[in-house]
Chain A
């Protein structure tokens, strides 16, 4: 059965909202802090002495369920030493348009060379621009997002993220 009185009450409820401030967060002006463990854009890391942590083992590519990582390794030579190991990644590419940000690559990496950062504003107008090369991944991200204070959350930060 219809409830005429209750329907009229509903009109009062919606009318009252007119005098309240909208709760919308205006995104580009207001950026909500990301959780510290949020998985965003990848980064490759270096050792303190400047050598790359990545040794070109391709374990990340093997672990990747989206098959978006491409690693081509080359031998380190005395006059061209890139990583401390026997080999280094001559080509290291991540296709960001395929990546699902699952974080398996950082779990698979034996040297914590690749981690997932907090940046998520990585849209591009062209798919070609979404293929990140080794130089891009080694460099600091261009856009940074605010990250919430880790002390606010009691979940421990895993070792492979804390070191980055």
Chain B
């Protein structure tokens, strides 16, 4: 499935993409603080560098230089591995997302994605499910009852919303007639952007993404103001930073997935700009996620659960069934 692309080109692309995603993460935190500030009539970071642009770097230096606090009762290796799992799965999911049409550089063909996997969509969901282990293991290995309760809370939320997340894209899979993200994007470029026929699916996906990335109003895993973090209460310094990185990269990855599935990936409405369109759409989606954070108060836990199971899941199911009927009927 690699269109005659030598394996070492994939390696180079992977290195570039990982670094770009990390950079995007750093400036997503900046964008979030800046935009959130302006939405709340504040300035946001404006001290480090022009417009506070060096703030993410200052934060990184601060986190790395901080003492790596280690609870005496924690289970050593598992405690250290948990944030790594969370970050790895978040980063790995980006490998199958197509960001361009592919190019001819010198006499090599370069694909517009790192790995063209025939079941790319399932791979992303599988990696997301493995990422939940970061939260479970992190809370359990901290050997603190509050961390354990926090990780139970987090897992219940992530697992419930994963169901809606997966069901909401079923319509897209049926219309694209493939689980391969590249083919789904190409189908959208050839026919219609899937957010028009799959409007319900898109909204369910969007709500599920907010819950999956544990962002307000579904940020019960952290709930800064009332619960004071959950599974990562006992983490500090860069270990905590890795959990936070994973969360933000999940946000970017799932925004990119939404762009791929519902907004035709790198296809633009007119100019063939490729990755520029892709970046622009991801930027808009991330900004909307931040806007949601500024506008909606946090849900109670029972509201969160009943919204996931009683509202999102039925809508996603009905949407999938109707799409399936229509697809069969049209054929």
Contacts and interface: CB of A to CB of B under 8 A. Distances in A.
A18 B39 contact: yes
Interface stretch (B228-236, B288-296, B316-324): B288-296
A14 B39 contact: yes
Contacts of B41: 17, 20, 22-24
Interface string B34-55: 0001111111000000000000
Contacts of A123: none
B29 to A, nearest CB: 19
Interface stretch (A5-13, A85-93, A106-114, A124-132): A5-13
Majority secondary structure of chain B interface residues (helix, strand, loop or mixed): helix
Interface string A21-34: 01110100000000
Nearest to A11: B295
Interface in B179-232: none
A56 to B, nearest CB: 46
Nearest to B303: A2
B267 to A, nearest CB: 28
Interface residues of B, number: 12
A163 to B, nearest CB: 41
Contact of B43 (A14, A17, A22): A22
A22 B291 contact: no
A17 B291 contact: no
A90 to B, nearest CB: 44
A64 B256 CA distance: 63
Interface string B8-39: 00000000000000000000000000000111
Given A11-B291, A14-B291, A24 B42 contact: yes
Interface string A42-77: 000000000000000000000000000000000000
Interface of A: 7, 10-11, 13-15, 17-18, 20, 22-24, 26
Given A14-B294, A17-B40, A22-B41, 20 more contacts: A7-B295, A7-B296, A10-B295, A10-B296, A11-B292, A14-B39, A14-B40, A14-B295, A15-B39, A15-B291, A17-B39, A17-B41, A18-B39, A20-B41, A22-B37, A22-B43, A23-B41, A24-B41, A24-B42, A24-B43
Interface of B: 37-43, 291-292, 294-296
